Amino acid sequence: MLRLLWLIPAIPCASFLLLALFGKRLPRGAVAAMGTGSIGLSMIASFLVAAAFIFERPGGLPFAQPLWTWLAVDGFAPVFGFYLDGLSVVMILVVSLVAFLIHLYSIGFMAGDEGYSRFFAYMNLFVGSMLILVLSDNLLALYLGWEGVGLCSYLLIGFWYREPENARAAMKAFLVTRVGDTAFAIGLFMLFTGLGTLQIQEIAQKAPMVWAPGSLFAAVAAALLLGGAVGKSAQIPLQTWLPDAMAGPTPVSALIHAATMVTAGVYLIARMNVLFMLAPQVRLILALVGTITLLTAGASALAQKDIKRVLAYSTMSQVGYMFLALGVGAWSAAIFHFMTHACFKALLFLSAGVVIQALDNEHDIFRMGGLRKALPWAFWTFLIGAASLSALPFVTAGFYSKDLILLGAWASPEGGHVLWAAGLAGAALTSLYAFRVVFVVFFGRQKAPISHTPGPSMKIPLALLSVLSIGAGLLEMPKALGNWTLLADLTHGALPAAGSAITGATTEGMLLAAGAVVPLLGLLAAGLLYLSGGASAAVQRIPGMSIVHRFWYSGWGFDWLYNAVFVAPFTWAARIDRGDGIDAFYEGTARIVKSARTLLVVTQSGKVRWYVMGVTIGAIVFILIAVLG
């Protein structure tokens, strides 16, 4: 059963090929069946493999499935193969399940679109690449999956390519993540130079032997890998692409920019934990990056009025939490939060999609209102998603995962209490902005009529994700509440245990209480400000508030900064260099050809007798040559 492992990425890739080649000629039903069915098959295979792994592998022994040697050059012979351990099991389960539900949703959401088969082809390629990324045994193959998901992100953000805005957003995403990818590649070069291999397990064994903890080489390599993760996961400073990436269709935002691709960075760091354990400075940077991002993104989310942009900044913020967890050494907490985040963020995006579609592609929350009665499915599912996002206590999965991170932060030896406080403030912000959207969109007076209600293909995923957003927390409960450690047990082979000081039960209890109260406070504040008759208008009139609002709305001015520092000088230099030698060479060639054409076109008069004359003169010349020569 474990040998089915290679099918998990292979089926979506094969489906991509078929849809890319023949999709236009197939009827819509077949395209939907193939596109969604392939992910469904992959999901079933994931479940079977996971079951086999959990129940039949003693002690969580990892399973490796090498497939073929990719290339063999002078001592560099990476083997393309797949590797299954506790971490991979979690990843493939989450990715395939969420992807399947989103594909199911897309059948209904993208039903009227003319690029239907193109959409499913790209989505399948994405899922295939993502699965290659999480299953591969070799950093080179991981990079292949990394690039693949980046490509699909570009293709799907710019899916409606006829709008120039969408194309620009896709370019921006690709270019910004490229900066990260370059850092990643250089990191790979360094790893190979230092260790002579790119097989992940070999690196895990060799690195502690070759590099002492704290060595500069390891730190630089780890920092470069971190750079790649920062780009892909939209953390500061490479986060500017994610809000604009919302130009793509809502299922794309749900799958790529919420549940899976942006967490690829988290997976990379978790997978390479051995390397990061050798570089404590880099881990500190990791935690700081996560913390700063979670706070700034949370503030920005509070100022947005496009519902998808709120969710984008929210994603940025939640991935910041995951980075924070990784930085303080709470490895399995990060993966746990990834799991719950995938469920509730996808849920939020999908129900936002229902609202957007119902209001004919309206994204502005202040033009929506009172949709509680008109769109009950959207209301309840969005509410559950927002509750899980805000980590409302006990009933939501988000509570348990976020709480685990906060516990880990508190216990961290380097400034743990500061990090914990920042995380808690972030939780307050999260709850505030999440329920802001809930109250503004679903309560109050209805401002626009609805034209669409969701069909069954959209309702089923919403229902399933709602259940998961509530129930997935049961995998890992803190000691005070039952001490279930299913997830940590599963991944203990792959991830080191949270190397933190054991906190006493009372400390843990107090931290838990704080973590429970703060989101509720945020909910209360949101209600006070944004329910009809709320105080938000009064708050806006506080002097200086509008400047703060504009600053947060623009994502803390990063776009302006990068534009001034990088983009403007580059375009200026390109403009100045327009007439240089190389351009002149090419233009000159074109001009010469054009003038030659003007000369030669005279011989093409179109008249028969002219051509006969040409033949005659030719005959004369040739006979002369033959006779005289």
Partner 1 sequence: MSFAFYIAGAVAIISTLLAVTRINAVHALLYLLVSLLSVALIFLFLGAPFVAAFEVIIYGGAIMVLFAFVVMMLGLGRKAMAQERGWLTLRVWLGPALLSAVLIIELFYVVYSGPFPAIRVVPTTPQDVAVRLFGPYLLGVELVSVVLLLGLVGAFHLAYQLGKKERAAHKRGMHP
Partner 2 sequence: MSFAIPFEHAMMLAGILFFIGLAGVLVRRDSIFILLSLEVMLNAAGFALVVAGAQWHQADGQIMFLFILAVAASEVSIGLALVLWLYHWHKTIDIDKASSMRG
Query: Could you list the residues that contact partner 1 (CB under 8 A)?
Result: 613, 616-617, 619-620, 623-624, 627
Q: Which residues pair with 82 in a beta bridge?
A: 65, 136
CA distances from 137 to 58, 67, 144, 182, 268 (A): 21, 10, 12, 21, 12
CB of 606 to partner 2, least distance (A): 3
Q: What share of the chain is helix, strand, coil (3-state, %, to 5)?
A: 75, 5, 20
CA distances from 412 to 21, 223, 281, 324 (A): 52, 20, 14, 11
Q: Which of 576, 609, 625, 629 binds partner 2 (CB under 8 A)?
A: 609
Would you say 538 or 626 has its CB closer to partner 1? 626
Q: How many residues does the chain have?
A: 629
Q: Which does 606 bind (CB under 5 to 8 A by kind): partner 2, partner 1, none?
A: partner 2
Q: With contacts defined by CB under 8 A, how many residues of the chain interact with partner 2?
A: 10
CB of 608 to partner 2, least distance (A): 5
Q: Give burial (CB, 10 Å; 0-12/13-18/19+) of 503.
A: middle
Q: Does 620 bind partner 2 (CB under 8 A)?
A: no
3-state secondary structure of 114: coil
Q: Which does 620 bind (CB under 5 to 8 A by kind): partner 2, partner 1, none?
A: partner 1
Q: Does 608 bind partner 2 (CB under 8 A)?
A: yes
How does 360-384 read in b/e, with b if 16+ C-beta sit within 10 Å?
A: eebbebeebbbbbebbebbbbbbbb
| CA 118 – CA 158 distance, rounded (Å) | 12
CB of 587 to partner 2, least distance (A): 24
Binding mask 547-586 for partner 2 (x = CB under 8 A): ----------------------------------------
Q: In this structure, what DSSP letter does residue 259 have?
A: I
Q: Answer left, alpha or beta for residue 560, where phi above 0 means left and psi between -120 and 50 means alpha.
A: alpha
CB of 606 to partner 1, least distance (A): 18
CB of 620 to partner 1, least distance (A): 6
Q: Does 600 bind partner 2 (CB under 8 A)?
A: no
Q: Give burial (CB, 10 Å; 0-12/13-18/19+) of 588.
A: exposed
Would you say 590 or 625 has its CB closer to partner 1? 625
Q: Which does 605 bind (CB under 5 to 8 A by kind): partner 2, partner 1, none?
A: partner 2
CB of 165 to partner 2, least distance (A): 41
Q: Which does 617 bind (CB under 5 to 8 A by kind): partner 2, partner 1, none?
A: partner 1
Q: Which does 506 bind (CB under 5 to 8 A by kind): partner 1, partner 2, none?
A: none
Would you say 214 or 618 has its CB closer to partner 1? 618
Short-list 41, 139, 54, 40, CA closest to 89: 54
Q: How many helices (H) and strands (E) does the chain have?
A: 28, 2
What are 355's two structure tokens?
A: 């609202």
Q: Which does 627 bind (CB under 5 to 8 A by kind): partner 2, partner 1, none?
A: partner 1
Q: Does 616 bind partner 2 (CB under 8 A)?
A: yes
Sequence-ordered alpha helix ranges (H) in 158-279: 164-195, 200-210, 216-232, 241-244, 250-254, 264-271, 273-277
Q: Which does 205 bind (CB under 5 to 8 A by kind): partner 2, partner 1, none?
A: none
Q: Which of 162, 606, 628, 629 binds partner 2 (CB under 8 A)?
A: 606
Q: Which of 612, 621, 623, 624 binds partner 2 (CB under 8 A)?
A: 612
Q: Which of 205, 532, 563, 605 binds partner 2 (CB under 8 A)?
A: 605
Q: Which does 524 bind (CB under 5 to 8 A by kind): partner 1, partner 2, none?
A: none
| CA 80 – CA 281 distance, rounded (Å) | 32
Q: Answer left, alpha or beta for residue 434, where phi above 0 means left and psi between -120 and 50 means alpha.
A: alpha
Stretch that binds partner 2, among 73-81, 98-106, 119-127, 597-605 (CB under 8 A): 597-605
| CA 212 – CA 362 distance, rounded (Å) | 56
Q: Which of 1, 481, 613, 624 binds partner 2 (CB under 8 A)?
A: 613
Q: Where on the chain is the footprint of partner 2 (CB under 8 A)?
A: 601, 604-609, 612-613, 616
